[in-house]
Structure 1
Amino acid sequence: MAREVVYTVNVEFGDCDPAKIVWFPNFFRWIDAASRNFFVQCGVPTWTETEATRGIIGTPLVDTKAKFIAVATYGDTLYIHTSIPEWRTKSFVQRYRVTKDGDTIMECEEVRIFAGKREGGGIRALPIPEDIRALCD
């Protein structure tokens, strides 16, 4: 079973649309924060440090799939359960389950890479660092 880290979000008034439900892009903002929080909780240094020491600038998203099951609104507390069920050579799958009051309200799966700068501009996928993988398993 993959390691799971939980990130907590308190829904604010400004997170909601005129229908008083969370505007869907906010879920992706929170999931991105939960992704970084996962690595922090596993003991991975900041991306500033990994860039300086290893050339790793972060873990950008290359694919995503989401399923919205129920709504959230102002005052709700959401829990984003984050795990990495699959490691590949140069990418990994990060899975998220957003819960409210114990019920799943959203599921998301992303493919991310460990990225480095490409000579001449842009980024490139780097092999998954074994020590970082070991911290996160």
Structure 2
Amino acid sequence: MTREVVYPVRVEFGDCDPAGIVWFPNFFRWIDAASRHFFIACGVPPWAETTTTLGVIGTPLVDTHASFRRTATYGDALEIHTSISEWRAKSFVQRYRVQRGADLLMECEEVRIFAGKRADGSMFAHPVPPSIRALCE
């Protein structure tokens, strides 16, 4: 069974365009927050700590695909259901379902890596840390 974490979002007036519809980049902002919230809910320490203990500075996005099904507007209470559908050697696939009650508004899949930073400042993909995977399964 795949672990799922729900991240709540309240749509504010400023999240919407002049027609009162959520401006689509806000969904990606909320999904990014839901990604980190997933790890926190699973017991993964803050990235500042994993930087020191594991060399992992975060989980940057390397690919995304989204399907928008319905609109949202200010005042809506949304839930972002987050899970990891696939673990790979140096990346993972995170899935999101954005819902308003029973209504599915958006589905998204992202490929992310556990990033490290070299002495010259460049980033690289770490192998998936077994300790983090164990917490998230």
- Shorter-chain TM range is over 0.9
2:20 equivalent to 1:20: yes
Other-structure match for 1:70: 70
Q: Which one-letter code corresponds to 2:32 in the other structure?
A: D
Q: How many residues align?
A: 137
1:101 offset after TM fit, Å?
A: 2.0
CA distance in 1, matches of 2:48, 2:14: 30
Other-structure match for 1:118: 118
Secondary structure at 2:66's aligned position in 1? strand
Secondary structure at 1:32's aligned position in 2? helix
Q: Which one-letter code corresponds to 2:79 in the other structure?
A: Y
* Match runs of 1:1-137 below 5 Å: 1-137=1-137
Q: Which aligned runs of 4 or more in structure 1 are off by greater than 2 angstroms?
A: none
Q: Which one-letter code corresponds to 1:121 in the other structure?
A: G
Secondary structure at 1:45's aligned position in 2? coil
Secondary structure at 1:113's aligned position in 2? strand
1:119 offset after TM fit, Å?
A: 3.2
CA distance in 1, matches of 2:102, 2:75: 15
Deviations 1:55-105 (A, max 9, x none): 110000000000000000000000000000100000000000000021111
Q: Superposition RMSD on alpha carbons, in Å?
A: 0.7
Q: Which one-letter code corresponds to 2:95 in the other structure?
A: R
Query: Gaps (5+ residues) in structure 2?
Result: none
1:120 offset after TM fit, Å?
A: 1.7
Q: TM-score, normalised by structure 1?
A: 0.98
CA distance in 1, matches of 2:90, 2:42: 19
Q: TM-score, normalised by structure 2?
A: 0.98
Q: Which one-letter code corresponds to 2:20 in the other structure?
A: K
Query: Gaps (5+ residues) in structure 1?
Result: none
Percentage identity across aligned positions? 72
